[in-house]
A and B are shown apart, each in its own frame.
Chain A
Amino acid sequence: TAAAHGRRQPYRVAELARLMYDDMMSTAEVLKQWRGEDDGKDNVTLEGEQDDELFRKRREVEDDVDDRTIAKHDYAALEAKWRDTDNIESLRQRFASTRVSGANGE
């Protein structure tokens, strides 16, 4: 997906610093662009909004979804992810004690 033409490498910190305070973009748009997910632009933008730069305006009212503190998760995907031994191994380094020193015989 990073192949989008002229699109720089995603998740660059400088890019986020630049986009974060761009009031012409909604927070969702900022994050999409930062993550390099906006290649499918036409599918995403609402009708009549992709017309012209001139008419591009910030969507004032976001969908009135309630504020969440805990993000929604796709638990089926998470279960698959955390059953994968490679993922488990790489996460181990975020834990202090345990079987680091190769005691687990990997």
Chain B
Amino acid sequence: MATAPAPAALKFTGSKYLVQRLVLATLTGRTIKISQIRSSSHTSPGLAPHEVSFLRLLEAITNGSQIEFSYTGTTVVYKPGLITGSAAGYGAQGGVIRHELSAECRRGVSYFLVPLCLLAPFSKAQVNVIFTGPGVITSSTELGDISADTVRTAILPSFRSFGIENNLELRILRRSNSGRDGRGGGGEVQLVFGHQVRLPKTIHLMNAGRVKRIRGVAYSTGVAGANNARLIEAARGVLNEFSPDIYVFSDVSSAPFVPAPSKDNPAAKKKIGLGFGLSLVAETNTNMLYSADITSPPAGGEAPEELGKKCAYQLLEAVEQGGCVGAVAAPTMLTLMALGSEDVGRIAMSKDVLGSEQVVQLARDLRAFGFSGWGLRDGDEEDEVVVSVVGRGVGNVGRKIT
């Protein structure tokens, strides 16, 4: 279908949903052209540093991708190659790809991790990538990125329903919050995604169940560990009302040192990424997950008590929305469903999660890439919708050719 005489490039506009479209292009082998990327911006037209970095990551884990930018960077043409993962010989050393993020990066490392997880099951070899450099932010960010902890505890487990569960690991090797003015960090994370499949299993998730426990990670990086205790106590203060089974892990680490060369001292280093934050995950008795993230703003000025409460409220909202998938993992789940075998998969979702711009746009983008439209009907529970997705059996275009 997506092979042989190359079909014309799919055309998209704008910087929104850029990553989603690049991922779908890679999975289907379709060439895409994205234009008008921040073309109306006078100060920073074209692709942002994190977007360029994501394209470079795609280049690193594929073989034969072609990427062309226009002079202004407002148009990019991407012709995807095969997803080879960290196979030896394609930029991977010792089976590991090191991907360096520049100090300009404002997005959390989850911005890269989540799409990488979506590509990894369809890779030829396992995916093993270390994110390093002065731009790795492991905490959540004010730009709405989830923390690396939440990727580990709320995104990775959602692959289990699709029969993708072995040898998946996300190691947070060094923590970092966002640097001052939200730019840069000094963290390091390693994603090992070693379960490759031909097609994801067809899922039927109809029962959201009830929340049986709440887990979490509080992190303090380069600041007093007491912040963790205060975050946890505040969150418990809200959540104890609902669940007796709450355990939040406390991780205290020193701030990373990153090179900060100056004229006088080219070997100078500085501390970066100080701060604290909290990641919470609620798990139901049918293994559905809802998550919440909060982090101290780069400029400081918010007490851990306030943030702990906010994170708890955010989690309650997600639990109240309900459904078999939280808003954070919904795009990942729905995309995997579309990639499944030619069978009808079903998932009961919250109306609020389905009725978000991101999910509606995903439905449209999937259709643009030749996937079938979704069927919707009322769910058993109030405020639930059952989304039926027919897989297209194009899970692994790359390996079909080889």
A residues contacting B by CB (< 8 A) are: 11, 13-14, 16-17, 20-21, 23, 27-28, 30-31, 34-35, 60-62, 64-73, 75, 78-79, 81-82, 88, 91-98
* Contact indicator per residue, chain B 376-397, by CB within 8 Å of chain A (1) or not (0): 1110000101000000000000
How far is it, in angstroms, between the C-alpha of A65 and the C-alpha of B309 when the chains are bound? Answer: 27
- The answer to whether A91 and B36 touch (CB under 8 A), given A16-B355, A70-B140, A70-B145, is no
Contacts of B238 in A (CB 8 A): 82
Known: A71-B144, A95-B243; 19 extra A-B contacts, CB below 8 A, are A11-B355, A13-B378, A16-B354, A20-B373, A20-B376, A21-B373, A31-B357, A62-B16, A64-B15, A67-B20, A73-B310, A78-B310, A78-B314, A82-B313, A88-B241, A91-B242, A93-B210, A96-B209, A96-B212
Our pick among A17, A21, A75 for the contact of B367 (Cβ within 8 Å) is A21
**Contact between B244 and A98, CB atoms less than 8 A apart:** yes
Q: Could you say which of B19, B212, B355 contacts A31, with CB atoms under 8 Å apart?
A: B355
Complex interface: chain A residues within 8 A of B363 (CB): 20-21
Q: Is B364 an interface residue (CB 8 A)?
A: yes
- Contact indicator B242/A61 (Cβ below 8 Å): no
Chain A residue with Cβ nearest B351: A11
Q: How many Å from the CB of B39 to the closest CB on chain A? A: 7
CB-based contact B313/A60 at 8 Å: no
Give the distance in Å from the alpha carbon of A66 to the alpha carbon of B41 in the complex: 13
B376 touches A91 (CB 8 A): no
B376 touching A61, Cβ below 8 Å: no
Complex: A91 Cα to B318 Cα, angstroms = 11
Asked whether B319 is an interface residue with its Cβ less than 8 Å from the other chain, the reply is yes
Asked if B170 is at the interface (CB within 8 A of a chain A CB), the reply is: no
Known A-B contacts A66-B144, A94-B320, A96-B284; A23 and B210 likewise in contact (beta carbons under 8 Å): no
B317 with A78: CB separation less than 8 A? yes
- By beta carbon, the residue of chain A nearest B141 is A70
Query: Cβ of B339 < 8 Å from any Cβ of A?
Result: no
Chain B neighbourhood of A21, CB < 8 A: 363-364, 367, 373
Q: Which of B40, B144, B309 lies in contact with A61, CB distance below 8 A?
A: B40
Q: Which of B135-151 contact A (CB under 8 A)?
A: 140, 143-146
- Nearest-CB distance from A47 to chain B (Å)? 17
Report yes or no: A20 in contact with B143, Cβ–Cβ below 8 A: no
B20, B284, B313, B374: which contacts A20 (Cβ < 8 A)? B374
The majority secondary structure among interface residues of chain A is loop
- Listed A/B pairs (20) with beta-carbon separation below 8 Å: A20-B374, A27-B360, A27-B364, A30-B360, A61-B14, A61-B36, A64-B14, A64-B37, A64-B38, A67-B17, A69-B145, A69-B328, A71-B144, A78-B313, A81-B313, A82-B238, A88-B242, A96-B211, A97-B244, A98-B243
Say yes or no: B376 contacts A16, CB within 8 Å.
yes
Q: Report the minimal beta-carbon distance from A55 to chain B, rounded to whole angstroms.
A: 19
State how many angstroms separate the Cβ of A61 from the closest Cβ of chain B.
5
- Is A75 in contact with B313, judged by CB distance below 8 angstroms? yes
Give CA–CA (A83, B287) in the complex, Å. 28
Residues of A within 8 A of B314 (CB): 70, 73, 78
Of all A-B residue pairs in the complex, the 5 with the closest CB atoms, nearest first, are: A68-B144, A96-B210, A78-B313, A96-B212, A17-B376
Binding site for A on B (CB under 8 A): 13-20, 36-41, 107, 110, 114, 140, 143-146, 209-212, 238, 241-245, 284-285, 293, 309-310, 313-314, 316-317, 319-320, 322, 327-328, 351, 354-358, 360-361, 363-364, 367, 373-378, 383, 385
A91 to B319, CA, bound (A): 8
Tell me if A69 and B313 are in contact (CB < 8 A): no
**Given A61-B40, A69-B328, A88-B241, A79 and B374 contact (CB-CB distance below 8 Å):** no
- A70 and B293: CB pair below 8 A? yes
Residue of B20, B143, B310, B355 ringed by the most chain A CB atoms within 10 A: B355
Q: Hey, which chain A residues are within 8 Å of B211, CB to CB?
A: 94-96
List, in ascending order, chain A residues with CB within 8 A of B364's CB: 20-21, 23, 27
- By a CB distance below 8 angstroms, the chain B residues around A17 are 374-376
B364 to chain A, nearest CB (A): 7
Query: A17-B375, A70-B144, A73-B313 are contacts. A31–B356 as well, Cβ < 8 Å?
Result: yes
The minimal Cβ–Cβ distance linking A20 to chain B, given in whole angstroms, is: 6
Q: Is the CB of B316 within 8 A of A64?
A: no
Contacting pair A69 B114 (CB below 8 A) = yes
Bound Cα distance from A58 to B38, whole angstroms? 18
CB pair B328 A70 closer than 8 Å: yes
Complex Cα gap A14–B143 (Å): 33
A79 to B366, CA, bound (A): 37
- CB distance A60 to B13 under 8 Å? yes
